[in-house]
Structure 1
Amino acid sequence: MIRLKLLITGMLWLILITAGAQTKRISGKVLDAQNAPLPGASVLLKGSTTGTVTDAEGTFTINAPANAVLVVSYTGYLAKEVPVGQSTTLNITLAESPQLLSDVVVVGYGTQRKRDLTGSIASISQTEVKNLPIARADQILQGRISGVQVTQTNAEPGGNISIRIRGTNSINSGNEPLFVIDGFPGAGDLNSINPSDIESIEVLKDASATAIYGSRGANGVVIVTTKKGSSKQSSINFEAYHGVQSVSKLYDMMNAREFATYLNDVQGLINQETPASAKALPYTPEQVAALGEGTNWQKEVLRTAPISNYQLNFLGGNSDTRYNLSFNYFNQQGIVINSGFQRGSIRFNLDKKISDKINVGFTSQLTRSGENRALVNTAGSTEMGGIILDAMRFNPALPVRDQAGTYTYLNGPAGYLELVGNPVAYANKVKNQYNNLRGLLNFFADYEIVKGLKLRSTAGTDFNYASLEYYVPSDIYAGSNSKGTATRSSGNRYSWVNENTLTYDREFNKSHALTLLGGLTFQEFYNTEFAASNSNFFTNLLESDNIGIGANVLPPSSSRSKNSLMSYFGRANYRFLDKYLFTFTMRADGSSRFGPNNKWGYFPSGAFAWRVIDEPFMKSVPVVSDLKLRASYGITGNQEIASYSSFARYTNNAYTLGGGTRVIGLSPNNIPNPGISWESTASLDFGVDLSVLSNRITFTADYYYKRTRDLLLNVSIPVSTGYSTVLLNAGGVQNKGIELSVNSVNVNSGRFKWTTAANLSANRNKVLDLNGEYERFVGTSSGSLFPSASNGATSVLRVGEPIGSFYGYVFEGIWQTPDEISASKRTGVRPGDPRYADLNGDGVLDAKDRTIIGRAQPKFIYGLTNNFTLGNFNLNVFLQGVQGSDILNLNRYYLETGGYINGNKLKSQTQRWTGPGTSNTIAKANSTLRRGTGITSDVVEDGSFLRVKTVSLSYTLPKLGSISNVLKSANVYVTAQNLFTFTKYSGYDPEVNSFGASNLSLNTDFNAYPNVRTFTAGIRLGL
């Protein structure tokens, strides 16, 4: 009986064990957060060596017991453990790992494992911004990488972008980074690059990373890599989006009745003060009473405009060949009437494996773009103006067209207002068409001489043909004096480059690894320009198509220039025990731009990184997943000056001799300087890379210090030499700051995922030396704006202060009574005039009372991205901000200034001073004091802002039965860009600089094209 019980018990245990050990066939699919398949993902039975990998569709099958746990992993994604349970079919979604994403990053002349980097390099992939309706590739960087400030200096379609990496290094030379597109250095900006073609963008920030580019690396380097083909599967991808744009904010201007009342007040005060020259008021009381809102000229020149984009992409190949062929058409109509930008591009990239030792290929692009520009300067105005500013100051009592349907010709009433033409007529009838054809082609060949030793040779060309067609017709005010003006101009920019590198990569005894790089490059740049103009046309029908019919032929102009660069460079990367990392770089540049005494410059750098995580003592700190400390020091250069600056140059002069004969002669226009050299920037960087909680949170911090010396400055010299300045290497600038970035996987459970990426940067800029000078007055503005303010200077360069320091008088309110003026002992002012601080207390307001009244450079910049995934839905919210930056609002200077009656004013003028106690902010109607004073602190505003830059919601459609055999993926999305902006700035938008990338007129808002709010809807299909 006992034996029977034991036998039965044993059989039951055997049945249970057998049942537990029984395996079943599990099938499934591994996907990313957007439900795209992940081919090649590893699926492993936990605690065993049994496993498989996913196929091209991301699917897998594996035999596993019911109590098994699958460990699923994929490069760039967080590993995930999935219990099998009772399931036979599994869909597994992996979240991107902030630490492992872009495991291999592109560096100068090669690639490196991210874990082996010793320098400060940031990377961003195109998939992170694929739902954005962006026109330019450089907009991808905005707010997403620490230490990089991207500013839309001109919001006009096709307008410029300014990029500053770790501050402003130069005063007179360029501050934009070097762009490298598919290995082609010095490829200009990114305006002609289709953003959808980009695979990744790397930003090289410290000297360890940028010294390999020598005399062009001081401002940082942006490396753009476009998409290549796939050796695993072929695919066809189509994407399209369409949307609308509108201005998010308008200036609040006076309406017709308010402006008529204002004009009458101004003239009435003038009549009281100068009765001998009194004249009638512009409007009678009956006319004022009959007026209402009138014409809102801002709304007449602005519109809701469409934006659209279409992309078709063919990718494929096999183990020997990869290709990528893409077509793109982008069309962005401007919110200013009759402005817009169109771009069509073709890209073909090919890689071919000839043999086990030889690989060849090329990247190529051809882009045609056209831009109808809304002009900044309005010809015919007595002062600098433009469509935007003229729309604000044009009399709202006047209609756009008269009863006959003809455009209102001129601002009025005549004799009381500045002569300004109808801005709507100007926008619609002036032709300002800019066309551009650009091609970029780069061939490469790789040859493995012996194992570990590779030769790479590239040859490429970048050509750009630009043309301008400009015509101002004679039937609008701007063209009335000239009876029509036409201009045709063209410019060709061409460059070629040949680069040859040897790379040796080898490991020794598993403890040492050495990578050596040596290279030789040649590059030349050519530029030619031609322009011809004419005026006095008897017909407007031909516009600029036949400028020969104009009666007033103007002298044509043409130019040609060339510069070249020859370079030697080398880099050594050494790893000891895979945790002690060393990098040494040297580049020698010889440039034709500099004098014969300084043709060659040498740019070394060194860096060390310690992978602390790989030390034995870190095993006792399991919460830390990765820890690396970095330090680097090096010297880079800036050679961005005009060609032939070191040589004696001549300019042509025209003379009329006796008898009316016109002759042309040449005369010197500079003092040559054979000693001119590049600006040199010494850079020190300390950094830490930290990951915790199995890489769920990653943190990167950098501190840097940069000192630029040998600034290229135009130094004043005695006029007895025949010249006023000479170009010298003199002066210095300092930048120092911190950069912080954090990436986290907040939730990764079930169908819900939430990740966050944040960055913050603070840079402090300081002028160290101005060739012995203490300060210089600078700034770009019209002399007619500030006739007595140091030749229109709006800023000061001062030792110890940052570049971009606004300089003027401190506004203290409004003079209220004669007794108040008497007590102050001030002269030349009246009640109702603005009151400015007498800083030196001498009772006289003069240039000695000016001071720094604002600073353009921000205290810090930041960005925050949150990405939420729930099932097939994905929500991306991106915030961008700037803090502590001031803006010079020259629009307000015009639109709030009383006395000088140039046109309509801001509605705030309805609260102007009319007697003691009525206002302490807005001067009386006929006050002229500000006009001759120059800029004052009340028009320098806080430009800080927090912007909800992008909100994008997408939905990935599930598989649709038999359609899945053709349609592999489908995704629809809606996106809002520039949705909300929280700011105290009173202008259209705080992200502005009317003078582009100018170093001396930062953050100046004058007649700027307004930024836009955009709503788009799009679809992506994969076949």
Structure 2
Amino acid sequence: MQAQNRQITGRVLNAADSSPLPGVTVVVKGTTSGSTTDSEGKFALTSPASDNPTLVLSYIGFETTEAKVGSDGNVTVRLKEQTTALNDVVVVGYGTQRKRDVTGSVASVTAEQVAEVPITRADQILQGRVSGVQVTQTNSEPGGGTSIRIRGTNSINSGNEPLFVVDGFPGAGDLNSINPSDIESIEVLKDASATAIYGSRGANGVVIITTKKGKAGRNAINFEAYTGVSNVRHKYDLMNAPQFANYLNDVQTLNNLENKTNTPLPYTQDQIAALGKGTDWQDAILQQGRQSNYQLGFNGGTEETRYNLSFNYFDQEGIVLNTGFQRGTVRLNLDKKVSNKINVSFSSQLARTFRKLTTVNTNGGSAGGVLLDALRFNPIQPVRDEFGNYTFQNQPLPAVEIAGNPVAYAESAKDTRTILRALVNVAGEYEITKGLKLRISGGADLFGNQRNQFIPSTVYVGQNTNGAATKASNNNYSWLNENTLTYDGKINANNALNVVAGLTFQQFVNENYSAQANNFFTNALGSDNIGIGANVLTPESGKNQNTLASYFGRVNYRLFERYLFTFTMRADGSSRFGPNNKWGYFPSGAFAYRLIDEKFMQSVPTISDLKLRASYGITGNQEIGSYRSLGRYGLNAYTSGATRLVGLTPSNIGNPDLSWESTSSADFGIDLALFKNRISITADYYFKKTKDLLLEVSIPQTSGFSSILQNAGSVQNKGFEFALTTVNFDGGKFSWNTNLNFSLNRNKVLSLNGEYQRFVGLSSTSIFPGATGATSVLRVGEPIGSFYGYQFLGIWQTPEEITASGITNLVRPGDPRYADLNGDKKIDANDRAIIGRAQPKFIYGVTNTFSFGPVGLSIFIQGVQGSDILNLNRYELESGFTTTNKLKTVVDRWTGPGTSNTIPKANSVVRRNTGITSDIVENGSFVRLKTATISYQIPVPKAMTKTVKTASIYVTGQNLITLTKYTGYDPEVNSFGESTAAGAGLSLNTDYNAFPNTRTFIGGVRIGF
């Protein structure tokens, strides 16, 4: 009998990372003979004699796999995690669903995709990887944010950013404090069927971030570290010292001729001849950036208790002097099975972030910053004088515009933001009866932001105040209670229900204060003791809060496993809105038909999966701040003699009817898989209309005010999304997969409360003195983000040309020429037109992943097509109205008839009094090799397998190649994206002193124990 048995040995590994899997059940098919794997994934068992025994391997969270045993009796099996099967679940609002049962438009990004690329913020992984989602790096400064648009721009005055939900906690913003390495998955809910469960906060889409939980049956330690360097991808080509000296002389010569004066020129020809190239102020202010990241994680547990504990430290030094970002996080997630009916979960993160900024420009204004001042500073001036001291200010005056040394400011002034954040959520779940569960959770998001700024008296900006200090604090608290009942079960073999009903309550509190002082007798203490400032300014403080109470329900019904229905309703009551509209109601419905499950489809082997989807629903947007529906009073103070008198005056008219913006959305989609899932396609067409826009509407000034906030106006978005995944080659050792997504959206303003258009957008008042600061127009029938200004036609060449045109404006040869659109022979505001559109025609991304044995390669290409950029940097650097340094193109400026038809003469002031013009609205389309990563799985010696389970190294390049016609630092820009100023959300694709995007190279190592 013993001779008829045979010994079988083997090892079971995780197919994703080759780590051993302990506790895997291994059974000889058709017998009761079996075993389980040890801590190294090894097993041994005795099997009845057979020529071709087959093993069946099963493990929680992995696909059940069969494996043939060879003649040597040894086998190595790699189990795949259940991440792509149709029966896998995706996270949706207040629950999960099988992927096959999803009726709405939901996209997922897995932990593996997050781990492919070293990123600073969680939302960066969505860039170019999810159809229908446009992610723009608003400012590449360390710790800078991003702007996210899901299926277009819905609102004019309210927010357009999606709702972020972190481990079930809605409204958890500031993704800088979330450690990307802790993320298990990111789900993007795009259509109303998926987002209506979030009611008045779902109109802009929802991004659900789920962090890693402990996995039962194994205890693992994972360590990752990487370091890298960054450099500016592209610099402006500026004038050198002799070129700028000649430019200043040219300005003064022309001024003397036009004003009939005899002011000496700033530089003699002998002085110019003695100049070298001068100072490259870009090189002086820029440096090689550095970054490093360290991650240590502990994961494991039993069926009763599971844990995930991680520590992370990230440090980034920016490419501009004295800029940087640091983040330290600790995360603890626990799941405890108290009994067969009770489960408790705990998720938490404590984070500290620290940013160093350079936000004030060196002449004391609020526009620009040290980077822009470095572009404008006189290249003849050295960074330091012959004694080693900083050059104090721009020279020679008055030939140049006054400004301080940007390098001195960057290295001497301090401006920091320190954020402490704790995000905690505790939940208990009780199974009342089979399939029916009660879940009660409570959580808090505590967010403290402190600013410390000190400008010493030793730099130009601080000399007039003899040093200036600011200390400010902004503390946000959010409290959440959620109570849900969930039923999930089958009525019979053909009918199944999943029902969720809930009640939630959330409160938001914001407290802020600021204190300022100047006239310091010493710079040594900075802002640490502002009491020593002789002039202490009036401190300011404030507090506001709002609450949101909600009821919601969702029914998912499956009929014959192929007819899928979803019905959702949420009622939101918000303190933000008027007493006549405290409650809003947000319904949605969806239907999906799994055509693949019809019997007749079995005769079509080419098609592996086919599902048709349709949905319609209504969601809302309540992002207008607190108390806007109420009549409020504002502070009014003045000084009488030595006494400060304080009073209150009305600041607005209340509106008891103020309510949510409402977005109705329809979606039609198809999910298709071909050739045994080697090709997977998802396509959607959607149509959205947002009405009851929150607009400032003009009212008679006899009321004491010029406007009132009302629900008026509407905006439309419609578009198409396409996602393709292909398994191009899967031949064992070598594999090649491709993921492609394509999105186009068409945005249009439908109405503005009877107005045809209104002017919006932000610009620096230092750029447009005497002219409108508006850069864009909201016009019925046109998209949001339409640049509005004058059409540039070239340069006036001769007096005869000006006379022949009949133009009545005061212009001279060498001045810019603009189109007289209304034919009245004068250039004024009536001749402005739409000169560009910020929103792209389409966006796309392509990722190719290759593996050859232990070597892996991932290449990601991102593209944006058909968008325009307002280059306000170029507005200053190429215009003749400022005596700051210029682009080298200005060397070939107009100096006489026929010399140039693009660059005006040196002292032309026409553009300064005009506003934005078409020649500074540039093509912002680009194709970018966003990331390329090559990795190598290091074979672990047998002597170390008890300790080291897996090891790998990798090298990543980011922003390696960018193909674009844009002349600025980078085409991925939106300078006002993070600003909270009115109109900032409408200043799309504006480049003014934006931190340049960088080319980065990173090397890292991952080790699993």
- Please tell me the TM-score bracket, short chain as reference: over 0.9
Distance 1:918 1:47 in 2: 91
Write the letter of the residue equivalent to 2:151: R
Distance 2:303 2:66 in 1: 32
Q: Is the 8 A contact 1:95 1:748 kept in 2?
A: no
**Within the alignment, does 1:822 sit opposite 2:803 as a pair?**
yes
Query: Secondary structure of 2:985's match?
Result: coil
Q: Deviations over 1:637-683 (max 9, x none)?
A: 001011000111111111234x5532101000000001100100001
Distance 2:21 2:660 in 1: 48
**Within the alignment, does 1:1022 sit opposite 2:1008 as a pair?**
yes
Select the residue among 877, 880, 884 that pairs with 2:859: 877
Match of 2:722 in 1: 740
Deviation for aligned residue 1:129: 2.7
Deviation for aligned residue 1:823: 2.6
Match of 2:765 in 1: 783
Aligned in 2, Cα 1:444/1:79: closer, same or farther, shift over 3 Å? closer
**Within the alignment, does 1:678 sit opposite 2:678 as a pair?**
no
Aligned in 2, Cα 1:372/1:102: closer, same or farther, shift over 3 Å? farther
Distance 1:734 1:74 in 2: 49
Q: Deviations over 1:88-132 (max 9, x none)?
A: 444455778985289211111111100000011111112113142
Distance 1:920 1:270 in 2: 21
Q: Is the 8 A contact 1:312 1:326 kept in 2?
A: yes
Write the letter of the residue equivalent to 2:931: T
Match of 2:837 in 1: 855
Write the letter of the residue equivalent to 2:826: V
Q: Is the 8 A contact 1:179 1:189 kept in 2?
A: no
Deviation for aligned residue 1:826: 2.1
Aligned in 2, Cα 1:764/1:633: closer, same or farther, shift over 3 Å? same
Q: What is the 5 A alignment of 1:581-600?
A: 581-600=564-583
Select the residue among 99, 102, 118 that pairs with 1:114: 99
Distance 2:863 2:838 in 1: 15
**Within the alignment, does 1:931 sit opposite 2:917 as a pair?**
no
Q: Is the 8 A contact 1:75 1:101 kept in 2?
A: no
Distance 2:24 2:673 in 1: 23
Match of 1:352 in 2: 336
Deviation for aligned residue 1:268: 1.2
Match of 1:361 in 2: 345
Q: Deviations over 1:968-994 (max 9, x none)?
A: 111111111111111111111111111
Distance 1:567 1:750 in 2: 52
Q: Is the 8 A contact 2:12 2:79 kept in 1?
A: no
Q: Which segment is superposed worse, 454-463 or 124-133? A: 124-133
Distance 2:372 2:83 in 1: 46
Match of 2:171 in 1: 186
Q: Is the 8 A contact 1:266 1:899 kept in 2?
A: no
Q: What is the 5 A alignment of 1:152-167?
A: 152-167=137-152
Q: Is the 8 A contact 1:102 1:123 kept in 2?
A: no
Q: Deviations over 1:865-902 (max 9, x none)?
A: 1111111011111111111111000000000001432x
List runs of 5+ in structure 1 lacking aligned partners.
Answer: 1-18
Q: Is the 8 A contact 1:98 1:744 kept in 2?
A: no
Q: What is the 5 A alignment of 1:421-436?
A: 421-436=404-419
Q: Is the 8 A contact 1:35 1:872 kept in 2?
A: no
Select the residue among 445, 449, 463 that pairs with 1:462: 445
Distance 1:352 1:146 in 2: 37
Match of 2:981 in 1: none
Q: Is the 8 A contact 1:24 1:65 kept in 2?
A: no
Q: What is the 5 A alignment of 1:584-623?
A: 584-623=567-606
TM-score for the superposition, normalised by structure 1? 0.94
Aligned in 2, Cα 1:836/1:135: closer, same or farther, shift over 3 Å? same
Q: Is the 8 A contact 1:30 1:41 kept in 2?
A: no
Deviation for aligned residue 1:316: 1.6
Q: Is the 8 A contact 1:349 1:364 kept in 2?
A: yes
Select the residue among 977, 983, 996 that pairs with 2:977: 996
Distance 1:999 1:866 in 2: 34
Write the letter of the residue equivalent to 1:769: S
Q: Is the 8 A contact 1:32 1:38 kept in 2?
A: no
Deviation for aligned residue 1:381: 4.2
Q: Is the 8 A contact 2:295 2:313 kept in 1?
A: yes
Deviation for aligned residue 1:293: 1.0
Percent identical pairs in the alignment equals 63
Deviation for aligned residue 1:929: 1.4
**Within the alignment, does 1:284 sit opposite 2:268 as a pair?**
yes
Distance 2:544 2:252 in 1: 55
Distance 2:32 2:907 in 1: 89
Q: Is the 8 A contact 1:198 1:225 kept in 2?
A: yes
Query: Secondary structure of 2:986's match?
Result: coil
How many pairs are equivalent?
Answer: 999
**Within the alignment, does 1:126 sit opposite 2:108 as a pair?**
no
**Within the alignment, does 1:515 sit opposite 2:501 as a pair?**
no
Q: Deviations over 1:213-251 (max 9, x none)?
A: 100111111111111112111111111111111111111
Distance 1:733 1:947 in 2: 31
Select the residue among 491, 513, 517 that pairs with 1:534: 517
Deviation for aligned residue 1:832: 1.8
Q: Is the 8 A contact 2:199 2:572 kept in 1?
A: yes
Select the residue among 312, 332, 337 that pairs with 2:321: 337
Select the residue among 275, 284, 293 that pairs with 1:300: 284
Deviation for aligned residue 1:189: 2.9
Distance 2:110 2:95 in 1: 18
Query: Secondary structure of 2:895's match?
Result: coil
Deviation for aligned residue 1:830: 2.3
Query: Secondary structure of 2:928's match?
Result: strand
Deviation for aligned residue 1:142: 1.2
Match of 1:1012 in 2: 998
Query: Secondary structure of 1:551's match?
Result: strand
Q: Is the 8 A contact 2:22 2:218 kept in 1?
A: no
Q: What is the 5 A alignment of 1:1-80?
A: 25=8, 27-37=10-20
Distance 2:876 2:430 in 1: 65
Match of 1:917 in 2: 898
Aligned in 2, Cα 1:599/1:294: closer, same or farther, shift over 3 Å? same
Q: Which segment is superposed worse, 605-614 or 234-243? A: 234-243
Match of 1:150 in 2: 135
**Within the alignment, does 1:573 sit opposite 2:564 as a pair?**
no
Match of 1:312 in 2: 296
Distance 2:157 2:36 in 1: 57
Write the letter of the residue equivalent to 1:175: N
Distance 2:306 2:605 in 1: 42
Select the residue among 154, 157, 161 that pairs with 1:176: 161
Q: Which segment is superposed worse, 621-630 or 541-550? A: 541-550
Match of 2:704 in 1: 722
Q: Is the 8 A contact 1:635 1:681 kept in 2?
A: yes
Deviation for aligned residue 1:343: 0.9
Match of 1:6 in 2: none
Deviation for aligned residue 1:548: 1.4
Q: Is the 8 A contact 1:76 1:100 kept in 2?
A: no
Q: Is the 8 A contact 2:9 2:42 kept in 1?
A: no
Query: Secondary structure of 1:130's match?
Result: helix
Deviation for aligned residue 1:22: 10
Select the residue among 743, 752, 757 that pairs with 1:770: 752
Match of 1:631 in 2: 614
Query: Secondary structure of 2:176's match?
Result: coil
Match of 1:419 in 2: 402
List runs of 5+ in structure 2 lacking aligned partners.
Answer: 979-983
Distance 2:204 2:629 in 1: 22
Deviation for aligned residue 1:715: 0.9
Q: Deviations over 1:397-447 (max 9, x none)?
A: 110000111100010111111110000001011110111100011000000
Write the letter of the residue equivalent to 2:731: S
Aligned in 2, Cα 1:318/1:806: closer, same or farther, shift over 3 Å? same
Match of 1:946 in 2: 927
Distance 1:335 1:211 in 2: 43
Distance 1:476 1:627 in 2: 67
Q: Is the 8 A contact 1:653 1:666 kept in 2?
A: yes
TM-score for the superposition, normalised by structure 2? 0.96
Aligned in 2, Cα 1:324/1:1004: closer, same or farther, shift over 3 Å? same
Select the residue among 336, 361, 368 that pairs with 1:378: 361
